[in-house]
Amino acid sequence: MNRPLAGKLYGVSLGPGDPGLITRRAWALLERPDAIWTYPVRSLRKESYALDIALRAGLTLPGKHQALLFPMTHDVEKLARHWLKAAETVKALLATGQDVLFLVEGDASTYASFCYLARVLRELEPDAQIDIVPGVTSFNAACAQLQMPLSEQDDTIAIVPAAYGIAAVEKMLDDFDTLVLMKVKPLLDDLITLLERRGLLPYSRFIEKAGSPVERIVHNVAELKGTKVNYLSLLLVKNPNRERGELLRGCRKKTSTEIEEGELQE
C-alpha cells in the first residue's frame, strides 16, 4: 500500500505580468523558505514567464526549484507524456514532505498548465493535497489597462481560444456583446478580416503580455495584419450593435446559440 504524500501542491497564480497584481496569499506562499518552486517552460531553451513575474517582484528563488516542461504542440500523445512526467516529478517532491508551489502566469484555473498537472497528479495519487490560489486573469488586466469594461448591466461575454476558428467566432458575434479571443497568434489575419467585414474593428483592441515591461497595446488592430505577435496576446471585441432579445422579468430571452445547445427551459 502506497503511503500518502506528505506535502501539498499549490497552484500559485501570479497575474498576467505586473508583479503588483500578485495577491497577498500568493506572496505569503512564495516567501516560505521551506517550499519548493516549480514552474512551466515551453522549451528547455526558453525561460519561464511565470518565474520571471516572481523574480521581477523581488522574490528570491529558493534553493530547491524545478522547471517542468509543457511543450507547445497539438500532439496529444506528446502532451500526455510531458504531463505525466511533470506529475511524476511533483509527486516525488511531495513525497519528501515538502510543499510544492507551481507558479502560474494569470490564473491557475483559466487555460493554465496547472489544470493538466493537477489532473494527472490526482490520477497517480487520488489523495494528493492540492490547493489553488486564484489570481488576476489576462483579460481582466487587459480591460483595466484599456479602460474598457468587460461587461455592463446584462451584457453577455464569451471567452474562447481563437483556435476554435473563424466560423465559430462569427457565430458568437451574433450572441455575445463582448468577445475575449485568447491566443490569437495563428489566426490574427483572418480575425482582422472578419472584424473588418462585420464593422467591428473600431470596437476591437489588441494587447500583448498585459502588465509586463514589454506590454504592447494596439488600438488600430488593422495595422497588425501581416505581422507577428506573441503567444501571450488577446483581442477584446465589443459588439455594440448586436440585436438583443426582449427583457422578460428583468432578464433577456435566451439567444439562438443557447437554444441550439438545449439550454432553453420549458
Task: Indicate if the alpha-carbon torsion angle 237, 238, 239, 241 is positive or negative.
Answer: negative
pLDDT of residue 82: 92
Q: Report if residue 2 sits inside a domain.
A: no
Among 152, 156, 163, 92, residue whose Cα is nearest residue 128:
92
CA distance 108 to 76: 21
Pairwise pLDDT comparison (263 vs 11), residue with the higher score: 11
pLDDT of residue 199: 96
pLDDT of residue 259: 53
Structural domain harbouring 177: 139-242+250-260
pLDDT of residue 264: 41
| Same-domain check for residues 132 and 19 | yes
Q: Are the beta carbons of 232 and 138 closer than 8 angstroms? A: yes
| Same-domain check for residues 180 and 108 | no
CA–CA distance from 244 to each of 120, 173, 219, 238 (Å)?
A: 42, 12, 26, 14
CA distance 189 to 5: 48
Q: Report if residue 152 sits inside a domain.
A: yes
Residue 20 predicted with pLDDT over 70: yes
- Taking the alpha carbons at both ends of the chain, their separation in whole angstroms is 51
| Same-domain check for residues 50 and 67 | yes
pLDDT of residue 257: 55
What is the domain-level CATH number for residue 83? 3.40.1010.10
Structural domain count, the chain: 2
Q: In which band, very low, low, confident or very high, does the pLDDT at 73 lie, cut at 50, 70 and 90?
A: confident
| Same-domain check for residues 236 and 120 | no
Pairwise pLDDT comparison (108 vs 231), residue with the higher score: 108
What is the domain-level CATH number for residue 214? 3.30.950.10
| Same-domain check for residues 132 and 150 | no
Residue 256 predicted with pLDDT over 70: no
Mean pLDDT across the chain, nearest whole number?
Answer: 90
Among 97, 93, 53, residue whose Cα is nearest residue 209:
53
Q: In which band, very low, low, confident or very high, does the pLDDT at 40 lie, cut at 50, 70 and 90?
A: very high
Q: In which band, very low, low, confident or very high, does the pLDDT at 265 lie, cut at 50, 70 and 90?
A: very low
